[in-house]
Amino acid sequence: MTKETILANAKLILSDGVITGSLLLRDGVIADIAEGATVPKGEIDCAGNYLAPGLVELHTDNLERHMKPRPMVDWPHRAAIIAHDRELAGTGITTVFDAIRVGSIVSDDGRKRYGKYARNMADEILMMRDSGALAISHHIHLRAEICSETLEEEMAEFGPDDKVGIVSLMDHTPGQRQFRDMQKFEEYVCGKNGLPREGFGEYVTFLHGLQQRLGARHEASAVAAAARYGAVLASHDDTTATQVATSHGHGVRLAEFPTTREAAEACHNQDIATIMGAPNLVRGGSHSGNVAAKELAELDLLDILSSDYVPASLLLGAVRLGNLWGSMARGLATVTRTPAHHVGLTDRGEIAIGSRADLIEFQVMNDAPILRSVFAMGNRVA
C-alpha cells in the first residue's frame, strides 16, 4: 500500500536557500515540494519550524563509547549497536558511517594491549541493518591503525561484498599528528585508557619501534585494501603540507581533522574535502590544542562537520556555521549534502524530489537548535 505524509508550514532548507513550504512524502521518498504556509486538513503542521535533510555522519567514536562505557568494561555488542543507533536518531543523524578500528596490539608483554574486533562488529551491524532492527541507515567505516601489529590480516578479512564506505589512515604514533603534544598523549593513554604512568615511557618506545618497522608497509596495505573494497579513502590528522601531498598521492578524498591551518590550506589546494569536529566548533577550539574549526570556517577551509565524540554537536555546529556564514542552507550543507555526495550517496542529503525522505524538523532558540521530529525513509524515528 502507498504511504503518504505531508509536512506543511515549514521553513524548508534547500541546497540554495530557505523557503516556506510543504513536502509530500510517499513510500520513503520526497514526492513533491510546494511553496506556501497553508495547512490543509490532515497535514502535519510544522508551525514554521525548519525542515532539513537528515544529518549524515562520516566519523563518530560513539559506537566505541557504547562498546566500552568505562575502561576495562566490555558491553554486549548488539545492545551497544542498538543504543548507538537510537541515540543518533535522537540527535537528527539519519545516515552514519560506523567507525570500527582495524589493527590491534596483541603482544603479551605487559604493555597496553587491545585486541581485534572489527570483523565481528561489522558482521553484527550488517546483520542488524539487514534485519530491519536499526532505525537509521548504517554504513561501515574502517579506521586503519597504521601503528599496530595486525592491520594487514584484519583488513584481509573484508572484501568488496562488505561495501565498506570509508577507509581512513590513522597513525597515532606519539610525537606527531594528533599527538604532537606528548603530555596530552600521556593524559590520553594513562588517564582515559588506564595505562600505568610508570609504563608510559616504555609504551612510547614500543610504539615508535612498531611504526618504524611496519608503518610504511601498513600504509601501503591500507591504501590497496581501500581500492579493493571500492571505499573512499580518508586521511586523519594531517599536520603539514608534505603529509597532505602524501595523502593526495594515495588518492585521499577526505581529510579528517587536519590539525593546522597549513594542512587545511594544502587540502583545499589539492581538492581534498576538509572534515572538522563539531565539538571543536561548539567549544571554540580543539581540546588537543590543534587548529580551531571556527578559524578554518572563517577562511572558507571547512567543508564538512563531524560529531566526533558528541552526537548532539552535529546539528548545533551546523546551525552555528549557518549563523557565522549568514546562510542556514550553507551551514546545514556541511552535515547533509556535502558529506553525502563525497561518499557517493546521491540519493540523500538534500530536499529534492526523488530524494530519500530522511528529514529533521527543528526550531532555533538563542542559537540552540531544538529537535522536534526525525524521519528516516518517511517513518518517524524520533
Selection from 113, 30, 120 nearest residue 72 by Cα? 113
Give residue 287's pLDDT: 72
Q: Look up the pTM and report it.
A: 0.91
Q: How far apart are CA 74 and CA 134, in angstroms?
A: 21
Give residue 205's pLDDT: 72
Q: Is 106 in contact with 154 (CB distance < 8 Å)?
A: no
For residue 236, count other CB atoms closer than 10 A to its CB: 25
Q: How far apart are CA 145 and CA 114, in angstroms?
A: 12
Give residue 307's pLDDT: 97
Q: Is 15 helix (H, G, I), strand (E, B) or coil?
A: coil
Question: Which amino acid, 346?
Answer: T
Establish how many alpha carbons lie within 13 A of residue 27's alpha carbon, considering only the half-sphere containing its beta carbon.
3
Q: How far apart are CA 325 and CA 271, in angstroms?
A: 21
Q: Is 152 in contact with 163 (CB distance < 8 Å)?
A: no
Selection from 66, 11, 54, 31 nearest residue 332 by Cα? 54
Pull the grid cell for residue 264.
587545511
Q: What would the DSSP string read from start to end of 221-278?
A: HHHHHHHHHTPEEEEES--SHHHHHHHHHHT--EEE--SSHHHHHHHHHTTPEEEEEH
| Helix or strand (DSSP H, E) at 369 | strand 368-376
Along the chain (382 residues), what's the average pLDDT of each consecutive run of 10 residues? 90 96 97 94 95 97 89 88 98 97 75 79 96 97 92 96 96 64 60 58 71 85 97 96 96 97 97 97 85 97 96 98 97 98 98 98 94 98 97
CB within 8 Å of 333: residues ≥ 6 apart = 15
**Strand partners for 362:** 50, 371
Angle at 291 between CA 299 and CA 180, to 5 degrees: 150
| Helix or strand (DSSP H, E) at 16 | none
